[in-house]
Structure 1
Amino acid sequence: MTLWTKPRPLSRTRSRLLLLAAAWTAGRALMLLLLARDGTAPLGVGGVGREVHELYARWYGVLAQGTFPPGDRLWQYPPGAGPLLLSPGLLPGLTYFQAFVALTLATDALVTAALVRAGRRTGGSLTGAALWTAALPLLLHLPLARYDVQVTAFAVLSLLAVARSTRVCGAFAALGALVKVWPALALIGLPRGRTTRRAWTSAAVTAGALLLVLAALFREPFGFLRQQGGRGVQIESLGGTALSLARHAGWPGRVRYRYGAMEFTGPHVGTVAAVSLALTAAAFGVLLLWRLRARRWTPATPYDAAFAAVLLFTVTSRVISPQYLVWLLGLAAVCLTSRHTTQRPVAALVVAAAALSSLAYPVLYADVMACTWTGSLLMLARNALLVAAAALSLHRLWTSTTRSARPGAGHPAPGRRRETASTA
């Protein structure tokens, strides 16, 4: 009788999951270490955690009194951000900062688990979970000190729910949109007809119900609208890159701290801001045209469309803060959970842009603010990658959905498994 048997080799999937878990743990430990060393060499200007220590904690005190920050020029967020900023109070025994970071890590783990689950479905891939796990630390410790991981989670969960429940998809998109508007774009790529109607109806009902609750519990829920109009051209934006390069050609503008960000002031800044808004409107028009022209949907089309939409609105923004890359990494990861996605090369461009973003902030932010050649060229390279990603994403989405399908070449659309992939 044999007393010892050779252990069975781990399955390939189990080995990959263990590797993912180890990589996630190591990457987040490194991010926590960097956060603890915020402001020390070689992390640049530092102060990444100051927004949580000072600004979020101050808003927490105001929100706990039952009102949104009245007259605060820095409060520029929809009312759904209020409960999110109050959530660290659910963890007693921790400081606000500690609780905020703990909840951000928990949300990060939730996103990773959702991506893993999606990747293990039939026709799925674990590449999406791997991208999120490996690429988020490229932004150093910034994701732990902003609530963009939480916002991204709403968009990720919304998109991954498409195949199972369009109502849940709409509800998550609405919750995200009430925190930061962009998660509403998760619904832009749903197949036309009943799927879209159900998702948007669910989103409208969810948003309306939550707004009524927030209006009943808090004063000044829509005060943020007064602060949005004053935003200028942030130095990280595409327009900001043009103005930074113009400084080297003799343009007399300056960089100043306004509305919670470093913005350009001086001649023609208003024109640059207006052009950015016009480009955003044009991007919206292009997306509507795509909706009208699209004829083919695959299981990945809602993912690809959301990714393309957020990329377009990102590159035309007057802001493009470094934390916007968290959104893009999350959506890229969702795309890569499906083997039908058209966005693999776009995801690679976004990962490269994330790496450059961490150099721009916080490592070399002093150069970016001073508009040195190093700072200007760094922002030019980062934003060129984002523009290329947006253009390529739209091109691949457009060509994959608007061309006539070959007989038998279509895939069933998510949420419409009994219908054909082609929609009239």
Structure 2
Amino acid sequence: MGTWGLTRLFLMLFVLKVFVFPGPDVTSDVSAIYHGWYEVLRDGTFPLDDVTWQYPPAAALAILSPAVLPFLDYATAFFVLACLADLVVLALLLYTGVRPGRTLRGAWVWVVGVPLLGPTVYARYDVMVTAVAVAALLAGARHPRLMGALAAFGALLKVWPALLLVGAVRRRAWASAAVTAAAVAAVFALAMPGAFAFLTFQGDRGTEVESVGALVFHVARHYGWEGQVALNYGSIEFLGPYVDTVSTVALLLTAVVFGWLLMWRLCATRFLPHTLADAAFVAVLLFTVTSRVISPQYMVWLVGLAAVCLCFRATGMTLPAALVVIACLVTVLEFPIGFGHVVASDAYGMTLLFIRNGLLVIAAVTAALELWRTTVPPRRAPLPPITDRSAGAKETAKEPLGSSSAPMPLSRVEPGDSPATTR
């Protein structure tokens, strides 16, 4: 708790601008954009005229949450609530870590990983969504209905928590998720106009400068590519020739990832206590690296899910989790500290992006392979038909003693014939 308190104190001092963090002001989204949405949402409607509103309807609750602290200004109240959500995650991980068969490694991943991202963590509402996701995964084993409800609510906050259900094996979790999603969505659709306008805005996004696909254009700019970098739909994106092609490829890769997850789900037969968390971590990693956008706050999701995985002693996600934590450090170097270099596509900015995205790709591949290895049993080689072997033995027994071919002893067993050797 001491390490958590000290590191979070510095994060609060940065977002409150007692200390100035290098790079662009990451708190402007809260004081300007979030506060502007707050003024619209409190009147009972979504910001339909703002294309930067690209969130599911329950996100309104996160934006409106500072109203519970009326004695503070909007930005300060938001930062305090973000810090409280951070503390909730730590408490959940500590409570889980002291149980039999569990470990406190997960709590340490959260304590160390979050501050490596800098003040961006408290200047976005992703830490609140991550708190819901962590609670859902930790409830999964004993309380599948609660897990499904929390996953559905999280998905209506920011979509990605729907992936938590990938490894759920109990129908109660899926049924609870469906009922919760339908009920909450219906309430917002009836109470507030434009609850699902975000779907249109999301479809018009391009390739953000920090994504894996953007590396193509960072390199291409040095070889005469005629595009540009501009603020588009609320993020800094590449605009110009072939951007649509790269964005389409990213969507196709996302579809491939979905197909792989479906195949894994159909082939998996060993579901261990940590499989639910491992599958969620793998799914979010894969969808992150194939996304058209990898904003710095996305790393908060991965740190939270990695922390849940490492609460289990038997998990095989130690290496991918370590790679994610290292990627957090590289992320803060590229945003906000070195974001000017990233936008300029200079050598320093490109190096940071290649390292960070490379770490995430390696983490995704190794995590996916580990998930497959631990849950999908290897195929067994088929045994030779018994009838053929018996027939061969009979024919050998009938041969005369002077035959040119030596008879096979009936007591001999050829390699591969014993069932024990095929396991």
Provide the residue aligned with 2:82 in structure 1.
104
Deviation, structure 1 residue 266: 1.1
Residue pair 1:38, 1:49 contacting (<8 A) in 2 also: no
Asked if the contact 2:15–2:79 (Cα under 8 Å) also holds between the matched residues in 1, the reply is: no
User: Residue in 1 aligned with 2:412?
Assistant: none
1:353 aligns with 2:327: yes
Task: Output the CA distance in 1 between the equivalents of 2:6 and 2:362.
Answer: 31
Among 120, 144, 147, the residue aligned to 2:98:
120
Q: Does the 8 Å CA contact 1:136/1:326 hold for their aligned counterparts?
A: yes
Superimposed CA distance per residue, residues 234-269 of structure 1 (whole angstroms, 9 cap, x where no aligned partner): 000001112101112221221001011000011100
SS at match of 1:111: helix
Partners of 1:179 and 1:133 lie apart in 2 by: 24
1:323 matched to 2:297? The reply is yes
Report the Cα distance in structure 2 between the residues aligned to 1:295 and 1:223, rounded to whole angstroms.
40
Residues 265-287 of structure 1: CA deviation (Å, up to 9, x unaligned): 11100100000000000000000
Counterparts of 2:49 and 2:202 in 1: how far apart (Å)? 12
SS at match of 1:238: coil
- SS class of match (2:223): coil
CA apart distance, 1:71: 2.3
Could you tell me which residue of structure 2 aligns to residue 252 of structure 1? 226
CA contact (8 A) 2:13 2:19 kept: no
Distance 1:324 1:22 in 2: 26
The separation in 1 between residues aligned to 2:78 and 2:126, in whole angstroms, is 12
Indicate whether 1:305 and 2:283 are aligned.
no
User: Residue 180 of structure 2 corresponds to which residue in structure 1?
Assistant: 206
Contact 1:128 1:335 in 2 (8 A): yes
1:81-121 CA distance string (max 9 Å, x none): 01121111011110110110111111111110001111111
Instruction: Indicate whether 1:364 and 2:338 are aligned.
Output: yes
8 A contact 1:38–1:48 mirrored in 2: no
For residue 382 of structure 1, report the CA deviation from its aligned partner: 0.6
Contact 1:190 1:302 in 2 (8 A): yes
Give 2:4's aligned amino acid.
Answer: W
The CA deviation string for residues 319-359 of structure 1, in whole angstroms up to 9 with x for no partner, is 00011000000000000000121100000000011110000
Which of 14, 36, 43 is equivalent to 1:34?
14
What's the counterpart of residue 15 of structure 1? none
Give SS of 1:141's match: helix
Q: Which residue of 2 aligns with 1:7?
A: none
CA shift at 1:221, angstroms? 0.9
* Offset from partner CA, 1:55-102 (integer Å, 9 cap, x none): 000000000000001121101101010112111101111011011011
Q: Supply the distance in 2 between the matched residues of 1:263 and 1:74 (Cα, whole angstroms).
A: 13
Matching residue of 2:209: 235
1:136 aligns with 2:114: yes
1:38 Cα shift? 8.4
Shift of 1:404: 5.1
Please give the secondary structure, in 1, of the residue aligned with 2:167. Answer: coil
Q: Which amino acid aligns with 1:359?
A: L
Structure 2: distance between partners of 1:130 and 1:163: 22
Give the aligned residue type for 2:14: L
Which of 24, 35, 60 aligns to 1:57? It is 35
Structure 1 residues not aligned, in runs of 5+: 1-20, 407-424
The equivalent position to 2:49 in structure 1, one of 42, 61, 71, is 71
Output aligned runs, 1:186-197, within 5 Å.
186-191=164-169, 195=170, 197=171
1:153 matched to 2:131? The reply is: yes
1:420 is matched with which residue?
none
TM-score by length of 2: 0.88
Q: C-alpha offsets along residues 105-141 of structure 1, whole Å, 9 cap, x if unaligned?
A: 1111111000111111110001101110111000011
1:78, 1:222 within 8 Å by CA — same for their partners in 2? yes
Q: String of CA shifts for 1:151-208, please: whole Å, max 9, x gaps.
A: 11111111000122100000000010001111011110123xxx1x110100111111
CA–CA separation in structure 2 for the residues paired with 1:22 and 1:330: 19
Q: Deviations over 1:385-416 (max 9, x none)?
A: 0000000000000011112599xxxxxxxxxx
TM-score in terms of structure 1 length: 0.88
Aligned residues: 380
- What displacement does 1:378 show? 1.0
- Larger radius of gyration between Structure 1 and Structure 2: 2
RMSD: 1.4
Is 1:288 aligned to residue 268 of structure 2? no
Identify the match of residue 387 of structure 1 among 352, 361, 366: 361
2-side partners of 1:125 and 1:340: how far apart? 10
Identity %: 49
Counterpart pick for 2:191 among 210, 213, 217: 217
What is the distance in 2 between the residues matched to 1:279 and 1:185? 16
Which whole-Å CA distance do the structure 1 matches of 2:76 and 2:359 have between them? 34
Is residue 70 of structure 2 the alignment partner of residue 92 of structure 1?
A: yes
Q: Which residue of 2 aligns with 1:16?
A: none
Cα deviation for residue 39 of structure 1 reads: 9.1
Is the 8 Å Cα contact of residues 296 and 405 (structure 1) preserved in structure 2? no
Give 1:169's match in structure 2, choosing from 128, 147, 153.
147
Instruction: Name the CA distance, whole Å, in 1 between partners of 2:18 and 2:253.
Output: 36
More deviation, 73-82/244-253:
244-253
Tell me the residue number matched to 2:310. 336
